[in-house]
Amino acid sequence: MNLKSEAPMPWLKEFEIVPDRRSRPARSATMTLPDAPARLDLYRFVHKGLRAFLHEVLLQVGRMDVDDESEVRETLARVCELLTICRVHLQKENHFIHTALEARRAGAAARAASDHASHERSFEELELAARAVEGGQATARAVATTRLYRQLALFVADNLEHMHVEETELNEALWATHSDAELRGIQQALVAAIAPEHMAVFQRWMLPAMTPAERVALLSGIKQRTPGHVFSGILANVKPHLTERDWNKLMAALAGL
């Protein structure tokens, strides 16, 4: 997969996303978000991409042929790439979103910050587990792979619940303390701070995970604000990961702009 990109992906000036009003997970008290007009959602699109990436890597580890050296190298490289992107995402949320929220409502990001600290430890544990697979032979490698797979499965499960909390509790707090213009400023600063090679990975997973309408809305905004060769690079990066139907829908929509 080509991780190179010539410039960070520009963000739409505005995302009009309807808040998720479903109840909270069983581990916490039921909470229904109040009725409210659509607000800027800082999490929705990137979390779609992360969910897809997490599940794909878990599947890849689970079906890996431990006797195929090339497949083992490719799979472990994908695990490392996933952990890198998760680290980048976590660090940007800490610096831009949690800082802004805590400045307006002290303690509002405490639960998410605690989860992030736990995830940092998980990154290290998963890296150690991956190295054990890399250095193992025969039966030892098979055992190490099973251990990595189970640790990764728990990491995926924890992240799924964590992202739901961010999309409900943290969004509610952000909407209560910030205007959409302020949220847009946070979003733009966060995106600008992402390195091009990391942005290319976010694009690769996020865009295929969107609905066709979301994909067109995001890419039409990017098309208006980027040089043609940069936009062509974004499309080339994502094309192999879209179905033929989704690609044709996207091309038809973009041609009509």
pLDDT of residue 136: 87
What's the pLDDT tens digit per position in 108-129?
999 999 999 999 999 999 999 9
In the CATH scheme, what is the code of domain 44-255? 1.20.120
Alpha carbon 147 to chain centroid distance? 24
- Position 154 scores a pLDDT of 98
61, two tokens: 């580890």
- The DSSP call for residue 35 is P
Boundaries of every domain in the chain: 44-255
Q: Which amino acid would we find at residue 38?
A: A
**pLDDT per residue over 102-113, tens digit each?**
999 999 999 999
As a whole number of angstroms, the distance between CA 183 and CA 99 comes to: 12
Residue 39: strand, helix, or coil: strand
- CB atoms closer than 10 angstroms to residue 30: 8
pLDDT value of position 60: 98
3-state DSSP call for residue 17?
strand
Q: What is the pLDDT along the chain (257 residues), one digit of tens a residue?
A: 443 333 444 433 333 333 343 334 444 434 444 444 489 999 999 999 999 999 999 999 999 999 999 999 999 999 999 999 999 999 999 999 999 999 999 999 999 999 999 999 999 999 999 999 999 888 999 999 999 999 999 999 999 999 999 999 999 999 999 999 999 999 999 999 999 999 999 999 999 999 999 999 999 989 988 899 999 999 999 999 999 999 999 999 999 87
Structure tokens at 250: 């996207």
Q: Which residues in 31-44 are b (16+ Cβ under 10 Å) and which e?
A: eebeeeeebbbbbb
How many residues are present in the chain?
Answer: 257
Token digits for 231?
């936009």
> By C-alpha distance, which of 9, 75, 1, 14 is closest to 207?
9
Residues in contact with 56: Cβ distance below 8 Å, sequence separation at least 6, in sequence order = none
Compute the chain's Rg from CA coordinates. Answer: 19
Residue with tokens 């998410």: 112
Report in angstroms the alpha-carbon separations of 234 from 49, 128, 201, 207: 15, 33, 11, 10
Q: CB atoms < 10 A from the CB of 143, how many?
A: 14
